[in-house]
């Protein structure tokens, strides 16, 4: 695609003395601009090619399994044991990467939070993900693969949760965690990375889903609770047999609150924007310091 149109009409050749004068004179502004644009476009294209060829790492899947009874969520594990640089780059809960299929490299890559704690990659050379199926997307194609199939990953991205801000058991005696849908993925990594929950009086997880059929990690709840995290499942569309909390996590929390000392309370939010914004307002209105409210999108 042409960036600028420059006339190509024929002009007679200049005398040699005039040509020499023109060669030493400043370049016409339009021609100069054209060359600069072309040069920048070529440089950008070259950089894009270099980045594309150097940042995508092929790796085999080690697990593909439904994570919910309605198969709307899938457990996906990728074997990264041959890539120590990738393993060492995963240092905090909340980090993520892009993933694509070699057979569909033209399709838009999917962004996935790493669900497993960094210690799992260090010990077993695996990254685990919780993938939400979206029809026609790379995530949907990914859920149709099987163990041994090869995918391509970008490098590990993001700084993760700034957990250092709430690591003190004195300054953050209460930690309230909120997650909805597949947003539980980085929260799993956070809980299993170690929150010193047993050393704090109150650590709660409000976990929202449409129904139990769409709630992942139910098999991990017992272990999470034994580590000191109280699980509060919240269903927005439960069946008649459900006896627990109904509605949305922000509404359930607003009714309960139970903040004994706001100055020593911290929160971690992971879910859709409306939920995180509403909860941030509620928490701050109740005195929770803004710098103790951690978010991950």
**What pLDDT, on a 0 to 100 scale, did the predictor assign at position 62?**
98
For the cut 50, the answer to whether the pLDDT of residue 43 exceeds it is no
Q: Look up the pTM and report it.
A: 0.80
The average pLDDT across 266-279 equals: 93
Q: Which residues pair with 79 in a beta bridge?
A: 126
Q: How many CB atoms lie within 10 A of CB 132?
A: 21
Element (H, E) at 180: strand 174-180
Report yes or no: 133 and 74 within 8 Å, Cβ to Cβ: yes
The side-by-side arrangement of strands in the sheet containing 265-270 is 245-246, 230-235, 202-209, 174-180, 265-270, 293-296
The average pLDDT across 3-21 equals: 39
Task: Give the span between the Cα atoms of 278 and 78, in whole angstroms.
Answer: 35
**What pLDDT, on a 0 to 100 scale, did the predictor assign at position 266?**
96
**What pLDDT, on a 0 to 100 scale, did the predictor assign at position 15?**
45
Q: Which residue shows structure tokens 């997880």?
A: 205
Residues in the chain: 297
Task: Give the span between the Cα atoms of 77 and 185, in whole angstroms.
Answer: 13
The average pLDDT across 33-54 equals: 42
Residue 129: closest CA among 195, 68, 53, 74: 74
Provide the strand spans (E) within 4-72: 57-66
| pLDDT bucket at 297, cuts 50 / 70 / 90 | low
| pLDDT bucket at 131, cuts 50 / 70 / 90 | very high
The average pLDDT across 132-142 equals: 94
For the cut 60, the answer to whether the pLDDT of residue 40 exceeds it is no
């Amino acid at each position: 695609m042409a960036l600028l149109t420059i006339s190509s009409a024929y002009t007679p050749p200049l005398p040699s003395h005039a040509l020499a004068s023109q060669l030493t004179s400043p370049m016409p502004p339009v021609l100069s601009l054209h060359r600069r644009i072309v040069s920048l476009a070529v440089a950008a294209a070259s950089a894009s090619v270099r980045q594309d060829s150097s940042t995508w790492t092929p790796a085999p899947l080690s697990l593909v399994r439904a994570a919910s009874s309605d198969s709307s969520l899938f457990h996906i594990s990728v074997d990264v044991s041959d890539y120590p640089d990738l393993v060492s780059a995963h240092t905090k809960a909340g980090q993520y990467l892009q993933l694509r299929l070699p057979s569909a490299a033209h399709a838009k890559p999917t962004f996935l939070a790493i669900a497993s704690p960094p210690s799992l990659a260090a010990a077993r050379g695996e990254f685990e993900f919780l993938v939400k199926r979206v029809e026609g997307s790379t995530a949907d194609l990914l859920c149709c693969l099987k163990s041994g199939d090869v995918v391509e990953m970008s490098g590990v991205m993001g700084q993760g949760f700034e957990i250092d801000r709430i690591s003190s058991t004195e300054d953050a005696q209460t930690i309230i965690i909120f997650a909805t849908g597949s947003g539980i993925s980085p929260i799993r990594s956070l809980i299993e990375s170690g929150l010193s929950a047993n050393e704090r009086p109150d650590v709660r997880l409000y976990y929202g889903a449409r129904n139990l059929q769409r709630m992942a990690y139910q098999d991990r709840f017992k272990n999470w609770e034994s580590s000191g995290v109280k699980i509060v499942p919240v269903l927005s569309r439960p069946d008649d047999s459900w006896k627990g909390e109904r509605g949305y996590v922000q509404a359930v929390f607003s009714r309960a609150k139970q903040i004994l000392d706001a100055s020593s309370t911290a929160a971690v939010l992971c879910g859709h924007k409306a939920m995180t914004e509403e909860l941030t307002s509620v928490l701050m209105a109740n005195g929770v310091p803004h710098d103790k409210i951690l978010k991950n999108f």
